[in-house]
Structure 1
Amino acid sequence: MLSRLNTYYKEMFPLIPRLFVGVIMFFEIYFLLLLNYGVKVEQLAIGMGEIVGSLTIFIFLMILRIADDFKDYETDQRLFPHRALPSGRVYKQDLIKVAVVVIVIAVVSNIIWMNNLPFFAFLFIYGTLMSLWFFQKSKIQPNLLLALVTHNPVQLVMNAYIISFTCYKYDLPLVSWTSFLVLLTLYFPALIWEISRKIRAPKDETEYVTYSRIFGYKKATRFVLILTAVDVVTNILLTYRLNRFAVLLILGNLLWFTLQCRKFSADPTQFKIVDKVERYTYILETMMILVVIGYLLLGRL
């Protein structure tokens, strides 16, 4: 079983990179919220709650990956038979056992160390409903837009889990303009990536339903660019008081991405737009992290 799981994690969910993603997600929201609320560096107190929160995000992302493989098993057998589960190189029982173990770890650790159990419960309830297609599989699975509307908000739920812990710990207002902006800060990149990965050149379209197949690749790309601009606005509002120079870098990143979208619209065969989205996101999130680190260490970069 361990050999099969090793194959699965190598191909579908690399553990170390995904753990790093969980930590980055947690602490980016954590510090952006605190710094925008004006919490002083000397007031920060990182302990087991932050460790458990990061681990919970990592575990939840893992469960989502496993749930997706179960949900799409029949489709993957037809369209992606080379993947670990449909190819038979890992068994369903293997993934069920792993899921049970990590969920127990998450539940026990949250009960012991976390202060936001209702948000934790809602996170995993939402994840469970997603894995069951909200009991409307026949309606949601064939409808790409309905699947997006029902599934993509899970990123908001994860963000709310982190924000609630932070606000409760430091006695900050949970419902405020600042909390709302931070709630959005990692939502738009997830939304943009989810849409862009289903935009293809006409020659690459198959029976797999994509946004470019429904709306055309130009309209779909234009929509991604609009969402990216909104994402930039939320990031600027959060970073302006921390580091004004970062605003110029964020705008420069948007300009670069705009040019890539125009190139793709002119000739969609030269690259995949999702690759440019990932590069844009890596650059943006790196800048956001550097702004936080610089502010914590120096007061400003």
Structure 2
Amino acid sequence: MTINDPKDLVGVSSRPARIWRYLLVMFPPHIMGLSGIVKFYAVYFCLQALASDESVHITLNSMFGAFSIVLFSLLLRVYDELKDAKADIRLGRAGDPRYMDRPIVTGAVTIEDLVVLRWVTTALLIVINVPLSGWPLIGFAVLFLVTWLSFKWFFWPAISRHLLLAFVTHNPITLFFGGYIVAVYAGDYGVHHIDAWALVLLLAFWAPLGAWETSRKIRAPEDETEYETYSQIFGWKLAPFVPIAFIILGTTCMILLSSQIGLNWVLPAVVVVASLVPVSRCIAFRVSPSQKTAHIQPFVELYAVAMDLGLLVTLLVSRGLDLSRFPAL
């Protein structure tokens, strides 16, 4: 079942049906689930490849970890929906095209529905992670605390009113997602197998998200509204260079990782080519700002997919997958 128009949700009376159809619009399980799993194993396998020349393995803990990354992504989505509900509804009713069709604006989903979804997701995360103990449990506790603090605006209300403060305090949460994956790896292989290259990996993991976040809040001067954007803060001439900086960081980290692991030239080449697509789009906006050229976000998303999927596929092809540790289910 697919939902093409959020307005199709209006009039659904059953809470489970409303939540499910809301997910299809705002957090498509088939897309976000696969994305989370790919991202988890790209990092998890890379940590293995940095530590040894052997084939990569899948463990039971890693399967729980991959599912947890998907659930944490959903929890953040719900947190953002709840804490921004009033502002999103105001912007949507004011005619902002990026908000007027959102389910929370159209009334297709209620605050109460989202609260239920929040607690169901939280319960699943606790049930999955508490039995893991050791480093995975520590990683879970830290990530859960950080995401909860973000839901509370880190008890600093001014963050909600300033885009740069929100970015500095919220976007690096992605690094804690990566830290959780490192913790799951440490639980499986030991913390002594982790060195400074893990930090380079976390930066490569985070940079595309920084590019995505900044690229989606750039608008041409005539399209600006009361909604704060990076093009308002930095000016439209400078704003497109912010996602470019993140893309350069991510691409550089991936090239360094590829060299350290001993991979061939294919992955660096793919990443460089993929990076040129959003970079060229950013330059196009700088040359000729318009609603069309401001549409940078999808091209950054393609770059992020190339980074995650490219690393995962390259590691599987070059190292091979040893299923001897795969749990018998």
Q: TM-score, normalised by structure 2?
A: 0.84
Question: 1: distance between equivalents of 2:40 and 2:276?
Answer: 28
Contact in 2 for aligned 1:164/1:174 (Cα 8 Å): no
CA distance in 2, matches of 1:156, 1:296: 26
Superposition deviation, residue 178 in structure 1: 1.3
CA pair 152-268 structure 1, distance change in 2 beyond 3 A = same
Match of 1:35 in 2: 49
User: Which letter does structure 2 place at the counterpart of 1:13?
Assistant: F
The alpha-carbon deviation at position 114 of structure 1 amounts to 5.0
Q: Deviations over 1:27-83 (max 9, x none)?
A: 010011111222511xx4423211110111111111111111111111111112432
Paired position in structure 2 for 1:248:
269
State the superposition RMSD in angstroms: 2.0
| Equivalent residue for 2:315, pick from 279, 284, 292 | 292
Number of equivalent positions: 296
Change (3 A) 1:15 1:251: closer
Post-superposition offset of 1:93:
1.9
In structure 2, distance between residues paired with 1:114 and 1:22: 22
Alignment of 1:1-301 (within 5 A): 1-41=15-55, 44-80=56-92, 81-113=100-132, 115=134, 116-137=136-157, 139-173=158-192, 176-240=195-259, 241-269=262-290, 270-271=292-293, 272-297=295-320
Answer with 91-100 or 144-153: which moved more.
91-100
Q: Deviations over 1:163-185 (max 9, x none)?
A: 11112311243652211111112
* Segment drifting more, 60-69 vs 287-296: 287-296
Maintained 8 Å contact 2:39/2:308: no
CA distance in 2, matches of 1:292, 1:225: 26
- In 1, are the aligned partners of 2:129 and 2:137 still within 8 Å (CA)? yes
The answer to which structure, 1 or 2, has the higher relative contact order (CA under 8 A, 6+ apart) is 2
Letter in 1 for 2:243: V
- Give distance in 2, aligned partners of 1:27 and 1:147: 29
Q: From the superposition, tell whether residues 253 and 109 of structure 1 become closer, same or farther in structure 2 (CA, over 3 Å).
A: closer
Q: Counterpart of 2:33 in structure 1: which amino acid?
A: L
Alpha-carbon distance in 1 for matches of 2:112, 2:220: 38
Counterpart amino acid of 1:274? Q
| Helix, strand or coil at the partner of 2:228 | coil
Residue 88 of structure 1 deviates from its aligned partner by 2.0
SS in 2 for 1:217: coil
Letter in 2 for 1:183: L
**Cα distance in 1 for residues equivalent to 2:33 and 2:271:** 26
Does the Cα contact within 8 Å between 2:22 and 2:109 map onto a contact in 1?
yes
Matches of 1:250 and 1:76, distance apart in 2? 35
* Residues 142-183 of structure 1 deviation map (CA, whole Å, 9 limit, x = unaligned): 111000011111100010000111123112436522111111
Cα distance in 1 for partners of 2:111, 2:193 equals 40
Per the alignment, in what secondary structure is the counterpart of residue 40 of structure 1?
Answer: coil
Q: Could you tell me whether the CA contact under 8 Å between 1:211 and 1:220 is conserved in 2?
A: yes
Unaligned runs of 5+ in 1: none
